[in-house]
Structure 1
Amino acid sequence: MPTTPRFDFDTHDGTGTLRLEGDWGVHTLNAVEPSLKALETDGLTRLEADLSNVGRFDTAAAFLLDRLACRAGLESVTITHGSESMKALVAQAQALRPGPEEEAEPKQTFGLVDLLERTGRSTMRFINEGLDMLAFLGDTLTSMLMAILRPARMRWTALVSVMEDSGLDAVPIVGFLSFFVGMVIAFIGATTLSEFGATIFTVELVGIAVLREFGVILTAVILAGRTNSAFTAQIGAMRMYQEVDAMQTLGLDPMDVLVVPRAFAMLIMTPVLTLVAVLFGIGGGGFVSWVALDINPTVFFNRLQDTVPLQHFWVGMSKAPVFGMVVALIGCRQGLQVGGSVQSLGRSTTKSVVQALFSIIVIDALFAVFYMELDI
């Protein structure tokens, strides 16, 4: 059997047949690659490769055959008379083709038809993304329910670790920013209400704003930028290094190992962080009221207790688990969609943060309409 690679190519009824001989490896392909690129593949409906006389056959040769199929506009190349390992290499090369989102964007034009086409394409992507997100939500809720019914499935060590990373370690930044946001709200209230001689109502402004909206929103935004991106990067790196595939080979479900602990951790820690944000936000407002408005802290907190209903606190806290679940779902889903390249990881991380921020604002608006209709 010759070691130098060579091939014969013929077509019949739209089927192209390659008969390969010799050793097809990364060190010998330079002898045949120009000839393969020069083959006429227009009009082919099927491409077959006969590997019965091939000695060595590695990944580089598999990619070369797959690129030939790509140039012919075919989904795959059919291997005949080849070993199972050869077929597996070709199948792997086909699986690593760039997806539609990774292919080069066509040059944009700016006619009316092109505008409508881009609008329709973007709309369909948005709808498909929403449907995929709902499907992932269903899978996650099912896995979480199974973990509740069968606690032995829960990865308790991973749950505690994620609670520490995403919750406990986020307390300083949540408290720090909430304190200054409370100060800003108090300054704005004092400046505006002083024109009407009603600076004492700064207490109600700070209390309602922080309890109902700013505490939970600020917590969710911090988690979207900090924890959401971390989830995507962690799981995406595992996808890049094929650790998720190794889990599946060992019979482990990535939903149980990677997604469920993060979802439970966010459900538990987001209300806790929201409570921290509320306390620090009110503390910042009370500090400004004391320094700038001469409202004694005792008077501030007594008036807050007397004039601000407790329902505002529960309205804010009711949003926290929903926002925590949104952050966990989007971060984990985008991480599981990472491909084999660093560019894919960066793209998924950016998309994850943007989707989380967008979803938080939209869901908060829906909550506002819902509570307004209930007169809460």
Structure 2
Amino acid sequence: MLTTALRLYGKNDLRLEQFELPEIKDDEILASVITDSICFSTWKEVNQGADHKKVPNDIATNPIIVGHEFSGNIVQVGKAWQHKFKVGSKYIIQANLQLPSLACPGYSFPYIGGESTYVVIPKEVLMQDCLLAYNGDSYFEASMIEPLSCVIGAFNANYHLVEGTYNHKMGIKEGGNLIILGGMGPMGMLAIDLALHGPIKPKRLIVTGRSDERVEYCKKHYPAENGVDVFYVNVSDVDDHKHYLMDLVNNEGYDDIFIFVPDKELVNLSSNILATDGCVNFFAGPQDSKFEASINFYDIHYAFTHYVGTSGGNTQDMREGIALIEDKKIQVNKIITHVLGLDSAAYVTINQPQIAGGKKLIYSQKRLPLIDLGKLLSEPAPDTFQQQLKEILVKSGGLWSKEAENYILDHAPNI
């Protein structure tokens, strides 16, 4: 089977190439890739090359395929897995295999990654139960389940003491004060959605950012509901962050704090606004292995505050994400701001920090320029193809949709 894939050879050395995949073994599966969502972690991977802890040292001669938020259809099943997987069914991958080697799809393997047309799913994925069935309506929603699972994992990793004991009750505090620092990017918005529609809900949700435009976007798409009071704060306009944020919760402090930007000042701020038995989750992944920040150890001793960190989700988190998507409780189309084809993926992956907006969604079988959905809606379309896409977007209030996806799959040229 011929595949076209974006392969990493070294730091910022991505090459779109066509090559023959090997015949699958009895313990492998051949699959198509329909969509892949570009993760900021992939930018870090590409930026670091072989220095990245999940990337093999020999990629200069044995390149790997990038991309780990992908979905598609099963094409061929090896004999060892025909009892469990069927040709034609949709799938998603839990990329965090949790192997001792740290190997992961999109980081470590030569024949599997989301920025490709076809992949060989290796035995490592299958043995770890990380190939999951998906029965949702669209492929783009499936590509958002991996990032959603990371947020679910973070919410599940927080904990609080059972009163009068040293036992831990896992998860965010029900009816508590929850704040997401730097939470107006795509991952932060998934966290907002989960706080509003997940199984455990806070009493108050506060989200900070540094853009009036993002504040207004979040207010529009994530209003207060389900008994949760919501406050969006542009901290660029605030002189004293600590006192302002404490005033929003009547000086009760915050039971759960999620840090979505690797910033030392945010770590220090979180330490100073924690409630008794409060939990800080350092969600953001810094590139600097020496990243350090000051926290209040007096409160750790006397106020029982605690700190956790999560990197990715696990298979159970993924299953929870699948249920939330299939049951229409979480609307991941709110975080998609750009679509593109595989031919544009190298440029967008490398330049992701300079491209504003939310999630960039690749249609891996297609040739398509980067399309900014907001710009398309506000400006004249450059051609008939994009004009028809624009008309579809208008019908869905400017949000990506299954109809828009079907239009891309039916009318965009193949790579």
The bucket for the TM-score relative to the shorter chain is under 0.3
Higher alpha-carbon Rg: 1
TM-score, normalised on structure 1?
A: 0.21
Answer 1 or 2: which has greater helix percent: 1
